[in-house]
Amino acid sequence: MGRLLEVFKDVEVVVEGAAMNGRYRTLAKVEPRADARKVELKDLRDYVERLNVRYSDRRFFVKKVKRDGLKLYVLDQLTHVAEDLDVLNTRLRKTLEAANVVVGEAERVKEEFEAKRKEYEVYRVEMERILRRSWLIRWIWYFRLKELKRKVMEWSEMLKGYEEKVARLNARHEELKAEAEALKEQISRGGVKEVKGRLPIYFDLQSQKVYVDEDDYKVEPKLSNYILMRTLGALGVSQTRYVKVLGRVQHG
């Protein structure tokens, strides 16, 4: 457990976003509102209720705590949550079925790839055979050679596409396998899962100051800033101000 950091004073809350239909990355700063509403305990409880409805697989709560001589209310969520074993088993079955479908698709594409590769070799060998002939014969075969070159380029691009598709399918299969293993492990623990992406936020209802634990904040600063933006914005404490464009989004 680290020291408490006061939001907006010890922590600069900045978040990255997107503009122009996702073509540009932007930077925005979360700042306290000049007309910020006073946060009451009821506001925190109402917000927790909305979170638990929206994220039914998590368990949010608010409770009174004492930190560094301050009486605070912390908005947090359970670090471990028990899930219904029947639901987990259903998810596991569907995940394994999806993995098998992906494997079947990858095998089909591989077979098609091999067939196309053999056809490609036929075109390539024929073209090389013609190119080895004298210039006079090559001139006579000019249009045939031109067509063969076109075919070789066309099939070469097609094979590249097949290779990329097989690689994507194999990667997806590995993701599904990892997900299945995680589900199996969770089932073996009686359906208890660890909650990730949590940031306890401490509220001093008397001074209206907001704090986060330094250790919790530094686990994932970008995610922490996003959580602070969403939480404080929903409570009417903060506003988000555009700062600048970071650059164009690079694809591929």
DSSP state of 39: P
Question: Measured between alpha carbons, how far apart are the two ends of the chain, in Å?
Answer: 41
On whether the CB atoms of residues 17 and 230 are closer than 8 A, the answer is no
Neighbours of 238 (CB within 10 A): 23
Is the whole-model pTM more than 0.75? no
pLDDT in tens, 179-238: 899 889 888 888 887 778 889 999 999 999 999 999 999 999 999 999 999 999 999 999
Q: DSSP string covering 127-169, please? A: HHHHHTS-HHHHHHTHHHHHHHHHHHHHHHHHHHHHHHHHHHH
Burial class (CB within 10 angstroms; exposed 0-12, middle 13-18, buried 19+) of 139:
exposed
pLDDT in tens, 130-176: 888 777 777 777 777 788 788 888 888 888 888 888 888 989 999 99
